[in-house]
Structure 1
Amino acid sequence: MEDYTLIIFRTIVLYIILLVVFRLMGKREVGELSIVDLAIFVLMGEIAAIALDDYDRQFFKAVLPIILLFLIQYLNSWLILKNKKLRDFIEGDPSLVIRDGYICEAEMKKQRYNLDDLLQQLREQGVCSVQDVAYAFLEQSGKLSIYQKDQGGFILPLILDGYVDKRHLKIIGKDEKWLVHELLVNGYPNIRDIFYCSYEDGKWFVQLRARKY
């Protein structure tokens, strides 16, 4: 009877711990999990299974790795929130695989992403032809984001969290020198002060970082 009581107790406590940990780690759809998130969740699941099976091991020692993984992931999330370069290094960038109806073969090879996968994801989103696509990005999660030519102009952010996105500048045929000059003319001398910036239909949209008081 004691064994059954112990199983019930450990199961309930582990359920509560995992529920709290996943809730604190933030809201994200399963399809949007990064490689790091997925690895952490798998490890937590394995540790929880071991904790339920190994009755001779102290319960605190069994759940301690879950708490440590949560603290590591929480610290990681805080660091990548503060530093875009670190975020790009850990989570990666979206990859442009179609532009103006043409497949970016070099980028697909770099990402080891084949034509069968590309065409399947196009069909799943109701896209009949590659030539109908203005831009298609392979996201960090493996999901394909598609913008068709008949959807109007597609806006690429040029500055995110104080960092210039040089890839997006290259896509629109501009360079960082042009960006700095245009922002200076419009009254924004310091790029590090800019939280988000885009160039939409010949007009600038700039949102500054929130001030800390």
Structure 2
Amino acid sequence: MLIVVVRTLILYIVVIIALRLMGKREIGQLQPFELVVILMISELAAVPSENVGVPLLSGIIPILVLLSASQSLAYISLKSERARDIICGRPSILINRGKISEKELSRNCYNISDLLEELRLNNVPNIADVEFAILENNGQISVFPKAQKRSTIPEDFGIKPPYEGLPLTIIMDGKLKKNYLEQSKKDLDWLKSELEKQQISQIEDVLIASLDSSGKLYVQAKATKKSNSKHSVR
């Protein structure tokens, strides 16, 4: 039993390393050849972990071979546009200037119901509002509404909003993030003072404290401090 556990852990580590080397993209964003590699890696790892009679290297070596092949294809597609079209394919325009392309739907085995579903998922319930809909190589659809149907932005009204940087999570689950506190150019005395204003005496009582670029501090206490559960202070 101990041998099975050790073999499984080794294969698990190998698979994790292989997937990390492939990048950080989610499953829905993978190219077809990358998805095939992941499926094959899972199958190859399962055989030696279930059967102790199969040498461990019989699972590790094929995984490394697949990883090498995947990295090679990724490098080739990065350097050559023609190779990228062959390996990854080309995006398909399903709706072009407000017109549905039946040819592209048929070529991609896409029906109208699938198209309408994807439009709804993109918050476009009315197909008449769509100027372009492009089926990307990863299977997702990019939707571009018609100009008169797009969401308004400040630039449309000549408004230039102030810069908004990333908020800094200073406290998470009762633990102080000192590097973020230093990055915010605040000190511990300031933080404790702000928490005391919200009747929170200890950092350990804070579920999360986040400081945005405008200097606004959002604080939520843990359940033990339910009476002061949510606060925003400046």
Same fold (TM over 0.5): yes
**TM-superposition CA deviations, 1:14-65 (whole Å, max 9, x none):** 1111111111111211111121111111110001110111211221122111
Residue aligning to 1:110: 107
Q: Distance in 2 between matches of 1:11 and 1:56?
A: 13
SS at match of 1:136: strand
Q: Distance in 1 between matches of 2:131 and 2:37?
A: 36
Residue aligning to 1:199: none
Q: CA deviation at 1:105?
A: 1.2
CA contact (8 A) 1:51 1:63 kept: no
Q: Distance in 1 between matches of 2:59 and 2:140?
A: 35
Q: Report which structure shows greater RCO (CA 8 Å, sep ≥6).
A: 1
Residue aligning to 2:66: 69
SS at match of 2:36: helix
Letter in 1 for 2:34: D
Q: Distance in 1 between matches of 2:54 and 2:109?
A: 43
In the alignment, structure 1 residue 39 sits paired with structure 2 residue 36: yes
Identical-pair percentage: 34
Residue aligning to 1:51: 48
CA RMSD of aligned residues (A): 1.3
Q: CA deviation at 1:100?
A: 2.1
1:79 to 68, 76, 88: 76
Q: TM-score, normalised by structure 2?
A: 0.61
Q: Distance in 1 between matches of 2:76 and 2:97?
A: 36
Residue aligning to 1:169: none
Residue aligning to 1:9: 6
Select the structure of larger CA radius of gyration: 2
CA contact (8 A) 2:28 2:140 kept: yes
Residue aligning to 1:142: 139
Q: CA deviation at 1:128?
A: 2.3
Q: Distance in 2 between matches of 1:55 and 1:66?
A: 18
In the alignment, structure 1 residue 98 sits paired with structure 2 residue 87: no
In structure 1, stretches of 5+ residues that fail to align are 153-213
CA contact (8 A) 1:102 1:130 kept: no
In structure 2, stretches of 5+ residues that fail to align are 152-234
Letter in 1 for 2:105: M
Q: Distance in 1 between matches of 2:56 and 2:109?
A: 43
Letter in 1 for 2:94: V
Letter in 1 for 2:13: I
1:173-184 correspondence to structure 2 within 5 Å: none
Residue aligning to 2:222: none
Q: TM-score, normalised by structure 1?
A: 0.67
Q: Distance in 2 between matches of 1:51 and 1:60?
A: 9
